[in-house]
Amino acid sequence: MVRLGHPASAGLGLCAPAHGEAQVGIDFGLAHWANLDEGHQIENPRWLREALPRLADLQRQRARKKRGSHRYRQLSQRIVRLYQRIADRRRDFLHRQTSALVQRCALIATEALAPKNMSRSARGTAQAPGRRVRQKAGLNREILSAGFGMAHQMLGYKAAEAGTRLHLANTRQLKPSQRCSGCWQLVPKALAERMHACPHCGCTLPRDQNSARVVLYDAWTPHDTPGTGVAARPKPLSANAVKLRSKTRETPLQPERLSGGKVHN
């Protein structure tokens, strides 16, 4: 069994010293905006949710006015200002949090999130309608309001300016939410399970904290992760790249797949 832990020289040779020399793993979420590997949590402000009642009231008032009238334009401007205020508060929050992380850390590890894919609609089609469409719409609104994509962009350019190393783990390959940070075994969990309890090594942690530790450990060994040999690629494989079949399949690998379609003698 492989037991992972903080190596004595983990920070040596990984990146140039920034303002601080701390190393942190981050798991972004909705219940808490960020969960750090040592257990600290950054709360999610949820400014859009707080403003929804006021926003709905203004939109109802505007709906009762004649389109193009003076009162209609006034209400439209108030709605725009409310949206702008929400965006300004979100941007200010993200700037403060990302700057604080970069200033105190020499290594920041997190997942390479794709908010556009995470917030896809569940509506489906007329032939195959989706399920729980309204619930998914509310979840999508919270995902976009949290500003994960903007936070990743800010961390990227601020880390480059400060000399901080930013590691973005390949989520599909690493599976941080399903992997144990203690023994590196996969422990399948449903989304409703918020505690990680490993049956292999007995490690018990909050699910998000365990995920943050997994991405941090992956950042220390990006080319040969201990325990399974899983390596986090900085970029996904190209769509044109040849994907070899698994050796465990019964069908043998055809030589023409490797030679571009023809067998060369």
The structure's pTM equals 0.74
Question: Among this protein's residues, is 111 annotated catalytic?
Answer: yes
Question: Among this protein's residues, is 57 annotated catalytic?
Answer: no
Q: Which of 38, 88, 193, 208 is catalytic?
A: 208
CB 189 within 8 A of CB 1: no
The least confident of 33-42, 70-79, 118-127, 135-144 is 118-127
What is the pLDDT at residue 228?
Answer: 36
What is the pLDDT at residue 68?
Answer: 94
Q: Which residues contact 111 (CB under 8 A, 6 or more apart)?
A: 27, 28, 168, 169, 171, 174, 176, 211, 215
CB 113 within 8 A of CB 174: no
Q: Which of 21, 27, 43, 92 is catalytic?
A: 27
What is the pLDDT at residue 233?
Answer: 35
3-state secondary structure of 96: helix
Number of H helices, E strands in the chain: 8, 7
**Band of the pLDDT at 4, cuts 50, 70, 90?**
low
In the chain, what is the greatest distance between 2 CA atoms, to the nearest angstrom?
81
Percent of the chain at pLDDT exceeding 70: 76
Structure tokens at 102: 């970069």
Question: Among this protein's residues, is 256 annotated catalytic?
Answer: no
CB 178 within 8 A of CB 211: no
Higher pLDDT, 211 or 241: 211
The vertex-101 CA angle with 20 and 141, nearest 5°, equals 175
Q: Which of 38, 57, 88, 111 is catalytic?
A: 111
Asked whether residue 250 carries a pLDDT value surpassing 60, the answer given is no
Average of per-residue pLDDT values in the chain: 80
